[in-house]
Amino acid sequence: MTPLTGVDGLVDDAAERVAACMSDEALRSAAAELLGKRSLLAGAHRSLGTLEPDDRRAAGRQLHEARSRIEHLVADRHQELARRARQRMLHDDRLDLTEVRPGPSRGRLHVVQRTRDELEDVFVGMGFVVEEGPEVETDWYNFEALNIPPAHPARGMWDTFYLDLGDPETILLRTHTSPVQIRVMEAQPPPIYAVMPGRCYRRDTPDARHIPIFHQIEGLVVDRHVTFAHLAGTIETFTTAYFGPNIHSRLRPAYFPFTEPSAEFEVTCTICQGSGCRTCSQTGWIELGGCGMVDPAVLRAVGLDADTWSGFAFGFGIDRCAQMRHQIPDMRILLENDLRYLRQI
Ligand code: DAH
């Protein structure tokens, strides 16, 4: 016989109440309500005195059991809440070392600098040394020693920035890296196998294929018995090493005052691999630079015996190489330093 009715219901209600507690604080006040002096359980306990002794004992046991079950429920819930809190804390504190977070990005070399480094590597691999010369030059190095006397019509090939220094039009920003040829020949006797990279300046209006500040790499070989075949072979070897085996070079007759004969050299268009496209005006070829056999007048300008020594030279745009290699539609991008673009190349 059940001396007290509704005790099971009391425990069931308590279980529901406890399970709904989401914090220690809520659990504490629920426990006070369920087990404290003003709880239904305590009320039932107080009314035990009205029962017969036998019933009282049975009901007492029943209430005791109910209390201990509710106490267990509270204790279990307390543990569960503590477990969850700890889990939350571990989750918040975790350090995921594999996680990639967008943060301040690392810097990298500008594409022109990377291209220059790569070109130097190719030529060093072919046995050349790397030399440098000044960006501010005299008329002598930039023009005269290169067989371009004052008022020579070929000066029109280079629109020049002059500096307001010394006599008018004597100090300038170099328009090409060719003056470094002269400095290298002055500084050391042949044999010479050197490349000379650097920044150049021309009074050009910027457009998709021209920028007024650009970079060239010059090449110079002076030795005995150097022939045009050596020049052509060097350019083809460089082209394949830098652009890959599918890209070739060809030479077209041209004029430069410091080489004779002179040629322009072109490489297979990297955009269409030679089949013809808009970039190469459907020719399949892109002009990269100039080259030729060093003119005897240039050798004489630095005091070399033109009967003993011969040589070849070449010069081409580093920015143009970068443009070809990375398919950069507009060269002005290289000067604008827009990180949104530079990060992509
Ligand atoms: N300096 C020439 C230019 O800027 C390019 C050039 C042509 C360099 C022929 C050379 C060469 O060394 O032999 O247009």
What is the Å distance from ligand 1's center to 218 Cα?
Answer: 7
179 Cβ inside 6 Å of ligand 1? no
Instruction: Specify whether 281 is located in the same domain as 338.
Output: yes
* Mean pLDDT rounded to a whole number for the chain: 91
The amino acid at residue 79 is Q
pLDDT digits (tens, 9 = 90+) for 227-237: 999 999 999 99
**123, 183, 260, 291, best to mutate for ligand 1 pocket (most atoms within 8 Å of CB):** 291
Q: What percent of the chain has pLDDT over 90?
A: 65
Q: What percent of the chain has pLDDT over 70?
A: 99
| Average pLDDT estimate for 134-159 | 92
For residue 266, the domain's CATH number is 3.30.930.10
Rounded Cα gap, residues 236 and 66, in angstroms? 96
77 Cβ inside 6 Å of ligand 1? no
- In this prediction, residue 153 has a pLDDT band, given cuts at 50, 70 and 90, of confident
Omega of the bond leading into 102 within 30 degrees of 0 (cis): no
Report CA Rg, the chain. Answer: 44
34-40 long-range Cβ contacts below 8 angstroms, 24+ apart? 34/70, 34/74, 35/67, 35/70, 35/71, 35/74, 40/10
Residue 261 lies in a domain: yes
- In this prediction, residue 330 has a pLDDT band, given cuts at 50, 70 and 90, of confident
Residue with the nearest Cα to atom 10 of ligand 1? 314
295 Cβ inside 6 Å of ligand 1? no
Instruction: Specify whether 152 is located in the same domain as 116.
Output: yes
Q: Which domain holds residue 310?
A: 111-342
Instruction: Specify whether 180 is located in the same domain as 315.
Output: yes
Instruction: Specify whether 137 is located in the same domain as 270.
Output: yes
259 Cβ inside 6 Å of ligand 1? yes
pLDDT (0 to 100) of residue 101:
73
pLDDT digits (tens, 9 = 90+) for 84-104: 999 999 998 888 788 777 777
Instruction: Specify whether 46 is located in the same domain as 131.
Output: no
Does the model's pTM come out above 0.85?
A: no
Question: Measured between alpha carbons, how far apart are the two ends of the chain, in Å?
Answer: 88
Instruction: Specify whether 159 is located in the same domain as 295.
Output: yes
Instruction: Specify whether 79 is located in the same domain as 129.
Output: no
176 Cβ inside 6 Å of ligand 1? yes
Instruction: Specify whether 56 is located in the same domain as 136.
Output: no
Instruction: Specify whether 69 is located in the same domain as 130.
Output: no
Looking at the predicted structure, is the pLDDT value of residue 23 above 50?
A: yes
Looking at the predicted structure, is the pLDDT value of residue 108 above 90?
A: no
What is the Å distance from ligand 1's center to 35 Cα?
Answer: 99
Instruction: Specify whether 44 is located in the same domain as 150.
Output: no
pLDDT (0 to 100) of residue 256:
96
Distances (CA, A) of 308 to 108, 210, 302, 313: 47, 39, 14, 17
CA 116 to chain centre: 16
Looking at the predicted structure, is the pLDDT value of residue 124 above 90?
A: yes
What is the Å distance from ligand 1's center to 118 Cα?
Answer: 20
- In this prediction, residue 278 has a pLDDT band, given cuts at 50, 70 and 90, of confident
Looking at the predicted structure, is the pLDDT value of residue 2 above 60?
A: no
**178, 182, 196, 265, best to mutate for ligand 1 pocket (most atoms within 8 Å of CB):** 178
pLDDT (0 to 100) of residue 195:
98
| Residue corresponding to tokens 């100039």 | 290
Rounded Cα gap, residues 280 and 197, in angstroms? 25
Instruction: Specify whether 33 is located in the same domain as 171.
Output: no
What is the Å distance from ligand 1's center to 244 Cα?
Answer: 24
256 Cβ inside 6 Å of ligand 1? yes
pLDDT (0 to 100) of residue 3:
60
What is the Å distance from ligand 1's center to 243 Cα?
Answer: 21
Residue with the nearest Cα to atom 13 of ligand 1? 291
Residue 104 lies in a domain: no
List, in order, residues 6 or more apart from 1 with CB less than 8 Å away: 58
Counting the structural domains of the chain, the total is 2
What are the DSSP E strand ranges found in the chain?
Answer: 129-130, 136-138, 171-173, 192-201, 213-223, 249-256, 259-268, 285-294, 310-317
323 Cβ inside 6 Å of ligand 1? no
| Average pLDDT estimate for 50-56 | 85
* Residue 26 CB-density burial (10 A; 0-12 exposed, 13-18 middle, 19+ buried): middle
Residue 331 lies in a domain: yes
Looking at the predicted structure, is the pLDDT value of residue 220 above 60?
A: yes
- In this prediction, residue 210 has a pLDDT band, given cuts at 50, 70 and 90, of confident
Residue 313 lies in a domain: yes
- The minimum-distance atom of ligand 1 relative to the CA of 219 is 12
Rounded Cα gap, residues 264 and 317, in angstroms? 12
316 Cβ inside 6 Å of ligand 1? no
Looking at the predicted structure, is the pLDDT value of residue 200 above 60?
A: yes
Which of 13-17, 96-100, 113-117 holds the top average pLDDT? 113-117
Looking at the predicted structure, is the pLDDT value of residue 270 above 80?
A: yes
- In this prediction, residue 1 has a pLDDT band, given cuts at 50, 70 and 90, of very low
Looking at the predicted structure, is the pLDDT value of residue 6 above 80?
A: no
